[in-house]
Amino acid sequence: MKHMIIRLVGLTFIAMVLSEAATTTHAEPQEAYRLGPNDVIRVQVFGEDDLSVERSVDGHGVITFPLLGALSVGGRTVQDLQDELTAQLRAGYIRHPKVTVFIVKHRNFTVSGEVKKPGGIEYKEGVTVQEALALAEGFTEKADRSGVKITRQNGGTVQTVPVTLDAVVLPNDLIIVAQASKLYVNGEVKRPGDYMYEKDLTVHKAITMAGGFTEKAAEGRTKVLRVINGQEETISVKLNDLIHPNDIIVVPQRFF
């Protein structure tokens, strides 16, 4: 009896764990794809070759279909269109129409800016920003990898918002990869010049990027020229101070 109780408790525990795992791993279903300009669709009507056609959705979201003329399909799902065609053909033309609609080619989204191959890419459901950037052959050396944005039409407005690499791309999105900000290191360093800005970059690391101090450097008098509220200001800094984008680090020569 004791062993049976232990066994029942064990089975109950396993069932609870499996139930919780199923709940936590269940993914939210994605919103159904909605047709729009430049999608190419094919309509097949079983047994009616004249009604089986391929059409590109025009800029107004419209296609033309035999017998029915112009149809507004923009914003509709494939299932919506299939149901409408079935209903209209049944209403006046075919007694038992069997209609199938599928997408031959999705409209594009676009990747622009600091990627190796900018341009339009055919949309695929579920594609992420990271996958889109890979299709554009990745970042250039000048890319701001932490500053990727998407310009997207949302209702009647167009919005540009920052996104993470795992964000899902939508049709007609414009993915923008900006050029990274720079900083400048001048004076008594071994390789003066401009360098790519990085988040949490310190004065010391920036100077290291520039090859380090020369023997003539007055390390303790290092300054930063920084634009604040439209005005350039000179700021005394320590080596562990953080750098801002477009800062100019100046290392003066020491006096002998």
209-219 tens-digit pLDDT: 999 999 999 99
Q: pLDDT digit string (tens) for 203-243?
A: 999 999 999 999 999 999 999 999 999 899 999 999 999 99
Q: Which residues of 158-196 are buried (b: 16+ CB within 10 A; e: fewer)?
A: eeeeebeeebebbbbbbbbbbebeebbbebbbeebeebe
Q: pLDDT digit string (tens) for 23-52?
A: 332 323 345 788 988 899 999 999 999 999
Q: How far is CA 237 from the centre of its chain?
A: 37
Amino acid at the residue 38: N
Provide mean pLDDT across the span 104-125: 92
pLDDT greater than 80 at residue 127: yes
Q: Whole-prediction pTM value?
A: 0.64
Strands 157-162 and 143-154: antiparallel
